[in-house]
Amino acid sequence: MTDQLPLQYLDSEGQPTQTLPDWCNTPDRLQRCYHYMQLARQFDSKAIALQRTGQLGTYASLLGAEAIDVSVALSMSKEDVLVPYYRNHACQIIRGMPLEEVFLYWGGDERGNAATAMQKDFPNAVPIATQCLHACGVASAIKIRGEKRAAVTMIGDGGTSKGDFMEALNIAGVWQLPVVFIINNNQWAISVPRKIQSAATRLADKAIGAGIPGIQVDGNDAIAMHEAMQTALQRAYEGKGATLIEAISYRLSDHTTADDATRYRSNDELKQAWEREPVKRLRNFMRSQNFWDEDQEQALLQEIAQLVQQAADSYLAIPPQPVSSIFDFMYAELPSHLNEQRDWAEVRAMPGGSHHQEGE
């Protein structure tokens, strides 16, 4: 256990807390980061609106984690491999996944989980912590091939209590795998608070037992997240092995749209978390440096609103897959006992088909 403070460059008001990296002296990278953080937030809002109106399935919000997802994705090279969990929509979008295909996945259509734009990135992992071992498998292949690449995977704070997570850390340490683990410590595993999930003072300390570096970062600080990622990736590229980053943030929304956080979380706690939120923090800093003004803000918000709406319209216009696809893509050769079920499913999917009774 260590008593180190989390890595931080900007406080909750966007004021520097230490000397900033040189890249912060010019606006380009900061503006790019801010663009995607706002995109992530508006995408999130639209997805929830679609779900509330019955046009999307259960959705896992990323509200409050924008600085984590965006900084991770912008730090990665194209050749790296993202092994995401179900709250990494912004990461996927930045790495090339069209917005309408992200909507498609959350609309329950598996074509959204097999987008060609994913390239070598993995689809979403919904089982808790399994993606960490998948990332180790990818990293093993990278190491065997002697490539200068890395596998990058994320997990929630609740997932760090799973055996798969600890096993992944262990094998990454003993095999010195080029993998970066990022914990999105948003303080809640559905309704279970962080303080009763683990007795560890810092989740980053779980790296100690695996013999790899573990660092705690202010996950609402995009600059700190970027710096931590750059160090971890460089370590992986140089063959020095894995890194665990614990990004401290706060889940500003419900766990998913099937959840109601008002039943277990106080309004005062949520209000205090909003005072530390990442988008305002970066905007305040850019304004203080004359890198951003109100005209740019309004133009960006309008541009993104149009982009997100167009993506939503495109998603809603995609015809559903035929019901027979459930059977056609499950087996190389459909077992004979499922032929009848396939035929019956097609009949029921026809207009008025649900009124047909077996034997008619």
Structure tokens at 354: 């649900």
- Give the angle 141-69-45 at the CA atoms, nearest 5°: 135
Q: At residue 127, what are phi and psi to the nearest 5 degrees? A: -55, 140
Measured between alpha carbons, how far is 266 from 343 in angstroms, rounded to an integer?
52
Active site residue 89: no
Q: Which of 251, 276, 281, 283 is the catalytic position?
A: 251
3-state DSSP helix/strand/coil % of the chain, to nearest 5: 50, 10, 40
Measured between alpha carbons, how far is 107 from 154 in angstroms, rounded to an integer?
22
Active site residue 251: yes
Q: What is the number of other CB atoms lying within 10 angstroms of the CB of residue 204? A: 26
Structure tokens at 228: 């931590």
Q: Count of residues for the chain?
A: 360
Q: Which of 41, 255, 281, 283 is the catalytic position?
A: 255
Determine contact, residues 147/112, Cβ cutoff 8 Å: no
Written as one letter, the residue type at 116 is T
The CA-based dihedral angle spanning residues 273, 278, 282, 288, taken in that order and rounded to the nearest 10 degrees: 0
Q: Which of 32, 52, 264, 348 is the catalytic position?
A: 264
Q: What is the number of other CB atoms lying within 10 angstroms of the CB of residue 7? A: 21
Residues with a catalytic annotation lie at 251, 255, 264
